[in-house]
Amino acid sequence: DIQMTQSPSSLSASVGDRVTITCRTSQTINNYLNWYQQKPGRAPKLLIHDASSLQSGVPSRFSGSGSGTDFTLTISNLQAEDFATYYCQQSDSAPLTFGGGTKVE
């Protein structure tokens, strides 16, 4: 199974900040790396797929980068509605594992 190491587990930020979250996989994946946002009591929402492709309707302040085993989600100019928990997930091979999550507060 592919293990996912996401960091940090939480971070403190302010509106207008630039936020970076990292995800490392235990083996090389074919850029099948996705990022989701989840707010309390709500279902996760897809932000980025295939490492760097912005999902339709997602603001352009969200961006993804990386390849191989190291990936990054960046939120530029953090907005009030961005305070949430973020998860990475690999879809290279089953089981489709998630990272442990990063709470942005």
Partner 1 sequence: EVQLVESGGGLVQPGGSLRLSCAVSGLTYSTYWMSWVRQAPGRGLEWVANIKQDGSDEHYVDSVKGRFTISRDNAKNSLYLQMSSLRAEDTAVYYCALAAGWELAYWGQGTLVTVSS
Residues contributing to the site for partner 1 (CB under 8 A): 1, 32, 34, 36, 38, 43-46, 49-50, 55, 87, 89, 91-92, 94-101
CB 48 within 8 A of CB 62: yes
CB 90 within 8 A of CB 97: yes
Q: Considering beta carbons, is residue 17 or 92 the nearer one to partner 1?
A: 92
Residue 17 or 98 with smaller CB distance to partner 1:
98
Q: How far is the CB of 15 from partner 1 (least distance, A)?
A: 26
In whole angstroms, the minimum distance from the beta carbon of 81 to partner 1 comes to 18
Please classify residue 60 by burial: count the beta carbons closer than 10 Å to its beta carbon, then call 0-12 exposed, 13-18 middle and 19+ buried.
exposed
